[in-house]
Amino acid sequence: MCLAIPGQVVAFVAEQPALVRVDVGGVRRNVNIGLLEEGELALGDWVLIHVGFALSKIGEAEARDQLRMLRAMGEDELAMEEVRGYSFAADDGERR
Amino acid sequence: MSLKYVDEFRDPSLIATVANEIKRSIDPERHYRIMEVCGGHTHAIYRHGLRDILPENVELVHGPGCPVCVLPTGRVDDGLAIASQPNVVLACFGDMMRVPGTKGTPLELRARGADIRMVYSPLDALKLAQENPDTHVCFFAIGFETTAPSTALTVLRARELGIGNFSVFSNHVTIVPAMRAILDSPGMRLDGFIGPGHVSSIIGCRPFEFVAQRYGKPVVVAGFEPLDVLESILMVLRQLRAREATVENQYRRIVPWQGNAAALRALAAAFELRPYFEWRGLGFISQSALKLKSAFAEWDAEARFAVPGVRVTDPRAAQCGEILKGVLKPPQCKLFGKECNPEHPVGALMVSSEGACAAHYRYARLDEAVHA
């Protein structure tokens, strides 16, 4: 329920300032950045993602810690399933 | 020492050092009861076998921080009553799908013909509404302050886009009043708290100061790796030894002391506190849950649909409430592992991986079998 999934910002989404494209273990999806301050994110930054929203900006080392923790908790598959499942912004043929 | 899976973590060598520090920080004559508030910590403690490396007189008490666990049966019934209305789609997180209501789980109701869909984000539910303009889509919102800001922004977005066939059935709850209720409950003796990690990334650490100031109990906001949890336990024990009570932040790499201002603004824009809300096991707690502000009545499922709103008591034999309050441990419930198991959960604590019963069933029973 309270999965917090690390992802790296790989693109800003044209015409949709509320979204950024993130890469989570090779899967790319758009997530909402409305819970961060405006202008907080740059390309290459890492964020923690929860239910389709970036909750906070984190460092690269923290992102790797978080990924390792999900793996050790046996929740990495669940996390990938969640990210793949975000359908609100699937516009790249990667859906399902 | 049987610490599982630690090799995968940062600084595994530090685990033994911290475990030794814990031993040196305690009074062997004293029994310590420390509550981990968050279900994510409960899961981590079981998963990594952390109880096995703590001294016997340091007891971890599982707290109420599991959203599906604290949702009372009556609210599940209310959500399913909405799903039973004609031309309505109920959108739920996966965790909700197997939570039993009086007449079955959302999954079972779906098998009987209700249109209930699983979503991964409230924005997915909003998209369903946009794609199905002739249907009403209701999002069954659950979760603590980690999740509520996402629902808030989704409702703000629905208003911005003028989407009228979408509503939220809000069951969002706030952790601080639940901690206060536990501290005030008679017979409850706790020495300190491991504070919730991701909730605190939203609300910050200050909301916990009353626990230290008014109740004289230490609170340490903690991360979720084994070393984080052990370090946090050590920090609580050191405060107890020094007869101090403050709020400390062990999870500084994620949790800012002030929280997330943008998320708090989103919460304040869409939600207000309910006068009271029922929690499974803890009963009615004042100002412990969020409802949409009246300006958002158009998107408030409770304003749009007549929900039964009936209070339903748990099955008499099930002792979910005592376990949620930390009075009983999972195997002390008469149904544990018998009528109530992960295949056929009687109570919600057996459903979610963050529920104490599911975690105990999955990990501790395995340990008992191995040690037997």
Residue B101 is part of which domain span? 70-173+289-304
pLDDT digits (tens, 9 = 90+) for B16-38: 999 999 999 999 999 999 999 99
A17 vs B: CB within 8 A: no
B148 and B80 within one domain: yes
Residue A77's Cβ-count burial label (10 Å; 0-12, 13-18, 19+) is exposed
The CATH number covering residue A9 comes to 2.30.30.140
In a domain? residue B264: no
In a domain? residue B310: no
Residue with tokens 């609210």: B75
* Residues in chain B closer than 8 A to A58 (CB atoms): 253-254
B189 and B60 within one domain: yes
A8 vs B: CB within 8 A: no
If one counts the domains in chain B, the total is 3
What ipTM does this complex have? 0.93
* Residues in chain B closer than 8 A to A59 (CB atoms): 253
Look at residue B301 in the predicted model and tell me its pLDDT.
98
CB distance A68–B10 less than 8 Å?
Answer: yes
Question: Is residue B88 over pLDDT 70?
Answer: yes
In a domain? residue A92: no
Give the DSSP per-residue string, B225-269: SHHHHHHHHHHHHHHHHTT---EEES-TTT--TT--HHHHHHHHH
In a domain? residue B221: yes
Q: Could you say which residues of chain A have pLDDT below 70?
A: 1, 90-96
Q: To the nearest whole angstrom, how far is the Cα of A41 from the nearest Cα of chain B? A: 14
B142 and B75 within one domain: yes
Mutate to test the interface with A, among B45, B254, B267 (most CBs of A within 10 A): B254
Helical (H) or strand (E) element with B371? helix B365-371
At B354, the pLDDT band (50, 70, 90 cuts) reads: confident
pTM of the model: 0.94
Nearest to B253 among A18, A62, A82 (CB): A62
Beta-carbon pairs below 8 A across chains A and B? 120
Residue A71 is part of which domain span? 5-85
Nearest Cα to A75, choosing from B39, B59, B263, B72?
B39
Average pLDDT score over chain B: 92
pLDDT digits (tens, 9 = 90+) for B301-328: 999 998 888 888 877 788 888 888 888 8
If one counts the domains in chain A, the total is 1
